[in-house]
Amino acid sequence: MSQQQNFLGPLIAGKVLETVIGRVLDKVAVNPKISLEPQDVPAVREVVADTVRRELEAREQHSTNSEPAYQSRVAQGSVASFLGAAALFAELWTNGVPDAPTLYVAPVTILFGSVWALYGRFIAKKPVGA
């Protein structure tokens, strides 16, 4: 397992750098004020530094779950599943038919799972088992 981790780390970092460098070169190529003459190197350096900083900030924000709640896929999925399970639970509760208790297992499980995911996203400080 540690061999895979040693392999995947540089592979992922290589892809990140490849993406960042590609975006930097695209920005430099379309900028009419920048040529590849030695006097333009500071301008290229500025574009490179700015693009790398922005790209890495966006990736850090995603990897540390520090994006706003409305952009969090965890929050969006948990709220959607919570609402769907609550609607099913309400339908079972109010349909006027004596339902088997086993019919409530799925919606209750989904409710608890979505609440647990939201807890993990917004409140928990450490991963489970850490």
Task: Write out the DSSP string of 26-64.
Answer: HHHHH-TT--SSGGGHHHHHHHHHHHHHHHHHHHHHHHT
pLDDT (average), residues 66-82 = 85
pLDDT (tens digit, 9 = 90+) per residue, 41-72?
Answer: 677 777 777 777 777 777 666 666 677 878 88
d(CA 107, CA 116): 14
Residue position matching structure tokens 């750098």:
17
User: Which pLDDT score, from 0 to 100, does residue 78 have?
Assistant: 92
User: What residues have CB less than 8 Å from 49, skipping those under 6 apart?
Assistant: none
108: left (phi over 0), alpha (psi -120 to 50) or beta: alpha
Give the pair of three-digit tokens for residue 5. Answer: 């981790």
**pLDDT at residue 38 greater than cutoff 70:** no
pLDDT above 70 coverage of the chain, percent: 73
pLDDT (average), residues 13-26 = 70
Specify the higher pLDDT residue, 31 or 110: 110
At residue 66, φ and ψ (nearest 5 deg) are -105, 10
Kindly tell me the sign of the dihedral angle through the C-alpha atoms of 61, 64, 69, 71. Answer: positive
Specify the higher pLDDT residue, 121 or 31: 121
Give the pair of three-digit tokens for residue 72. Answer: 């969090």
Contact 78, 117 (CB under 8 A): yes
The band of 5, judged by pLDDT with boundaries at 50, 70 and 90, is: very low
The band of 121, judged by pLDDT with boundaries at 50, 70 and 90, is: confident
